[in-house]
Amino acid sequence: MASSDAKPKSVSRAKKWSEEIENLYRFQQAGYRDETEYKQVKQVSTVDRWPETGYVKKLQRRDNTFYYYNKQRECNDKEVHKVKIYAY
């Protein structure tokens, strides 16, 4: 479990879509690296998710506006290679 001010040690690009990549895509669309940074910045313990699919449902951006995401997959295959995977 990362500490409250943990920073990633390495970054790589996603090659193939998966549910984890889908969620990472959604966090990065909202301007965060991943769920860890979102929880650090927003000081929340849980993230709103769709109960059916487990994908992220709602995120609050740094400017306090809200991004809402669909129940289904939003990350196309063309966008997969843009998703960054951070390792702590």
Partner 1 sequence: MVAEKETLSLNKCPDKMPKRTKLLAQQPLPVHQPHSLVSEGFTVKAMMKNSVVRGPPVAGAFKERPTKPTAFRKFYERGDFPIALEHDSKGNKIAWKVEIEKLDYHHYLPLFFEGLCEMTFPYEFFARQGIHDMLEHGGNKILPVIPQLIIPIKNALNLRNRQVICVTLKVLQHLAVSAEMVGEALVPYYRQILPILNIFKNMNDEQWAKWIRAGQTLKQARAVRHPSLESSQGTTGKRPQEGADGAGSPSRHFWFNEANFQQL
Binding site for partner 1 (CB under 8 A): 29, 58, 61, 64-68, 70-71, 76, 79, 82
Q: What is the residue whose two structure tokens read 């690296």?
A: 33
Smaller CB distance to partner 1: residue 80 or 85?
Answer: 80
Q: Report, in Å, the least distance between residue 43 CB and partner 1.
A: 17
Compute the distance between CA of residue 34 and CA of residue 24 in angstroms, rounded to an integer: 6
Q: Are 11 and 85 in contact (CB under 8 A)?
A: yes
* Beta pairing, strands 56-60 & 66-68: antiparallel
Q: Report, in Å, the least distance between residue 86 CB and partner 1.
A: 19
Smaller CB distance to partner 1: residue 15 or 71?
Answer: 71
Helix (H) or strand (E) holding 67: strand 66-68
Smaller CB distance to partner 1: residue 10 or 45?
Answer: 45
